[in-house]
Structure 1
Amino acid sequence: MKVLVIGAGLGGLACAIACKREGLEVVVLERANRIVPIGAGIQVPPNGTRIARQLGYLDKLLERGVIVDKMELRRYANGKHLFSLSAKECMEQYGDLWMVCHRADCHAALWETCVSLGVDLCLDMDVERIDFDTNTVWLEDGDDISGDVIIGADGLYSICRNQLLGTPSPAVETGDLAYRASFPAEQLKTLNDEAVDELCSRKQVTVLTKLISCIPRVQKWKLCTHPELKTWTKGCVALLGDSCHPSLPYQAQGAAMAVEDGAVLGKLLGLLNASSNGTTPAELIPEVLQLYETLRKSRTTVNVQGARSNQKWYQIPDGPEQEARDAEMAGAKLADGLSPTGWRWIDPEYQKELLGHDVVAEAVKAFEKWEAARA
């Protein structure tokens, strides 16, 4: 089975790794003519590191990232502590690490793993259109390449999504902006500040303005979204990641959900290929891609809705509602149960399902059930 992956982002590379480990032929088509560092810091929560462990790139992440100690929410105006989440307790409860790293470092870990596995990584491949009848990708330069399966992993501004839906489907601006920046940790030591030194050595929270003083430049990112799609698949073509379920960053799950998509796709296609001894009937591929959509759509929709909920609670204007929110957070613990306000981020059952779920194991069970129904 030959799989074409359009887009060499986090989800696309995870899909390529998963497919390659299942013994499939994989070609990645990336529009950029070279790989350059983009983005800023990202979280890799336990469900994301679980995929990294399963796909074999966790060691490369650990070389570049940092294991989280805890997370704190503080009042922007005066730094008052509102809520803490022990990442250590979460890791013990949900079975894997909670990390932070630069997006470029996460991408490098995936890219290096692809190279070591022999994935065919092709740069400067600008996709113009997809022929769904022949499973052919046509490039801007007139060349074409065909496969058994085509995966659209080309992000928020996806060409593949437009092709699959048969109509332009632009991203929608939310009106929010994210200001992102990074700087070397060594630079903090020059501040000669005891609280900052504590941050360097013990990873404790310190005064934000001290950190901001180290930033040489800031990138301003428009935060965009897209209406929920009715379908992610058409024939032997499927979408993954931001091309089909873009998530706002308020839940820090965008990268994790994309690599989950890739891992599930690789596992399902690998099981299909193995069950047919490497001669997969073409008519079964759309069924398995539909199974992928069924498995992933409900989970990613919950994540998208959770991020929007967090957007609301994080951005309540100063006033009585904000004061009530702050009071609730100040007295909350993750183990206390469902938030009276409905803020699901501090609901332990929600966190358990989000962070502790093994999507690859779920995919194996779903495939076995699908296969048994066909027998």
Structure 2
Amino acid sequence: MELFGKTVCVIGAGIGGLTAALALRRLGAKVCVLEQAEAITEVGAGLQVSPNGIAVLRALGLEGALSARAVRARAVELRDYAAGQLVSHLDLSLLDGEAPYYFVHRADLITCLADAVRAADVKVLLLQKVNTVVPGARPKVILSNGAEMKPDLVVGADGLHSRLRPVLNGTIAPFFTRQVAWRTTVPNTIGHGPVAQVHMGPHRHMVSYPLRGGERVNIVAVQEQVGWSEEGWQIADDPDTLRRVFADFGGDARALLSEVTDVRKWGLFRHPVAPVWHKGNCALLGDSAHPTLPFMAQGAVMAMEDAWVLGDALQKAATIEDGLSQYQTRREMRTARVVAAASKNAWKYHLSNTPIRKIAHLGLRVASAVAPKKMMGQFDWIYRHDVTQS
């Protein structure tokens, strides 16, 4: 289908929305992005962009812009919580021949995408709060101020609280996973190298990796907890509370936690993958379609993959609806598998002080020493998948 001249409204100027805007604009569509905030910003967090995400950025001409802002990852290290003793070393250089793996501040990736979107003559409208969407041959986007837009295609890339998702699927309440997480960044006073360290403790774990040329360190710490009521990313917490929860963590973990001056806490909720991704020239993308827990570091990357496949499917189809149908067919099994893998991953880091924990850690040590390529190979289905070549 010829996309030249087709009008597209993308709801949400996050990573998925901006990538979709860029992917559709390069195919000739006239794209407008609606963002309810007063500026395109994302603060306070890092993320990991694995080779399957870099493949999309490379195809969009942005790999160089990202690499200039990011730290190239060399390894993932699993460590015991008490003294930081190394349990397993996963060498990311074994992915040689594929796209590289990067650690990047979320705000830096957003800036990279936003600059490219504006350079491509995509309109980005701020302070635009969407009230609802009406699917149809010419769908309507109704804003909270009463204004309406009638593009050829609407893309809902507005995350967990999407305005389009309930229109297509009804309202399905998420359930609390009995896990809460803290996130923050601190100065890199310990000389944290270009590795992701996962400190594994009873019912808790902490991930750290460098950002911004190694000047900062990103921290995500997770604890199992029975109750939680509020779902959100920007709930302020006392740094001393974080330190108290992880007081028995030693090594680099303790040193990093001593540097925390500002921290945000959120409850981890599980949202089901949406059964309906499209209807009436409207489509869901990223977290609005398949929210994922952070334990595989694939949330942002899955949104970027979605964006590329959406454009490719539309270009190859006879009609918008045919393209959207093919988009869901090509994406739903993969994203569901990633969501399931992330949901199952946390327990591996949270084993209690029992013989099972000791046996599990011994197995990891032996496997990473004896068969490092096999250890990395378990992730081939994620990292070696290149949506730009399909």
More deviation, 325-334/145-154: 325-334
Partner of 2:184: 181
Judged with a 3 Å threshold, the aligned counterparts in structure 2 of structure 1 residues 253 and 336 are, in CA distance, closer, same or farther, namely same
Counterpart for residue 380 of structure 2: 352
In the alignment, which residue of structure 1 is the partner of 2:105? Answer: 102
Cα distance change, pair 359–138 in 1 and its aligned pair in 2 (3 A): same
Determine helix, strand or coil for the equivalent of 1:257. helix
Is 2:22 the counterpart of 1:17? yes
Deviations 1:173-193, CA, capped at 9 Å, x for gaps: 2221121111344xx1xxxxx
Check if 1:267 corresponds to 2:270: no
Residue 209 of structure 2 is matched in structure 1 by none
How far is the alpha carbon of 1:357 from its aligned partner? 1.2
Of 361, 365, 368, which residue of structure 1 is paired with 2:389? 361
Q: Distance in 2 between matches of 1:2 and 1:297?
A: 25
Whole-angstrom CA distance in 1 between matches of 2:196 and 2:294: 23
Check the 8 A contact 1:19/1:270 in 2, yes or no. Answer: no
Residue type of the partner of 1:99? Y
1:7 deviates by 0.8
Could you give the per-residue CA deviations for residues 104-143 of structure 1, whole angstroms, max 9, x where no partner exists?
1111111111011111111111111111123110111000
RMSD over aligned Cα atoms = 2.2
Matched residue SS, 2:323: helix
Contact persistence 2:10–2:34 (CA under 8 A): yes
Preserved contact between residue 64 and residue 101 of structure 1 (Cα < 8 Å)? yes
The residue matched to 1:35 in structure 2 has which SS? Answer: coil
Q: Residue 4 of structure 1: CA displacement?
A: 1.1
2:91 is the alignment partner of 1:63: no
One-letter code aligned to 1:358: D
Cα offset for 1:333?
Answer: 3.0
Cα distance, 1:321 vs structure 2: 2.3
SS state at 2:33 partner: strand
Is 1:251 the counterpart of 2:296? The answer is: yes
Structure with the higher fraction of residues in helix conformation: 1
Q: Which has the higher strand share?
A: 2
- Identify which of 258, 278, 281 aligns with 1:236: 281
Match of 1:135 in 2: 139
Equivalent-residue separation in structure 1 for 2:333 and 2:371 (angstroms) = 26
* Aligned partner letter, 1:329: L
In the TM superposition, residue 259 of structure 1 has moved relative to its aligned partner by 0.6
SS at match of 2:77: strand
SS of 2:133's equivalent?
Answer: strand
Matched ranges for 1:23-42 at <5 A: 23-42=28-47
Q: CA deviation at 1:347?
A: 6.5
Among 285, 305, 308, the residue aligned to 2:343: 308
The amino acid across from 1:174 in the alignment is T
TM-score normalised by length of structure 1: 0.83
1:77 aligns with 2:112: no
Q: Which runs of 5+ in 1 are unaligned?
A: 189-195, 273-280, 340-345, 363-375
Task: Determine the C-alpha separation between the residues in 2 that align with 1:24 and 1:30.
Answer: 19
Question: Quick one: structure 1 residues 231 and 329, their matched pair in 2 at CA, closer, same or farther if it must change by over 3 Å?
Answer: same
Change beyond 3 A, Cα 1:218–1:172: same
Give 1:8's match in structure 2, choosing from 13, 19, 22: 13
- Per the alignment, do residues 47 and 8 of structure 1 end up closer, same or farther by CA in structure 2, a change over 3 Å counting? same
Could you tell me whether the CA contact under 8 Å between 1:334 and 1:347 is conserved in 2?
Answer: no
Query: 1:161·1:169 contact (CA, 8 Å) conserved in 2?
Result: no
Taking the aligned partners of 2:307 and 2:315, their CA distance within structure 1 comes to: 12
Partner of 2:163: 159
Residue 335 of structure 1 and its aligned partner are, at CA, apart by 8.5
Distance 2:181 2:78 in 1: 17
- State the match for 1:277 in structure 2: none
- Looking at structure 2, the residues matched to 334 and 131 of structure 1 have their Cα atoms a distance apart, in angstroms, of 56
Corresponding residue of 2:203: none
- Contact 2:16–2:285 (8 Å) recurs in 1: yes
Select between 310-319 and 71-80 the one with higher mean Cα deviation. 310-319
Q: Secondary structure at the match of 1:332?
A: helix
What is the total number of aligned residue pairs between the two structures?
331
Could you tell me whether the CA contact under 8 Å between 2:76 and 2:196 is conserved in 1? no
Query: Cα distance, 1:50 vs. partner?
Result: 1.1
Change (3 A) 1:234 1:331: same
Structure 1 range deviating more: 226-235 or 241-250: 226-235
Q: Tell me which moved more, 215-224 or 23-32.
A: 215-224
Give 1:214's match in structure 2, choosing from 214, 234, 259.
259
Q: Percent identity?
A: 34
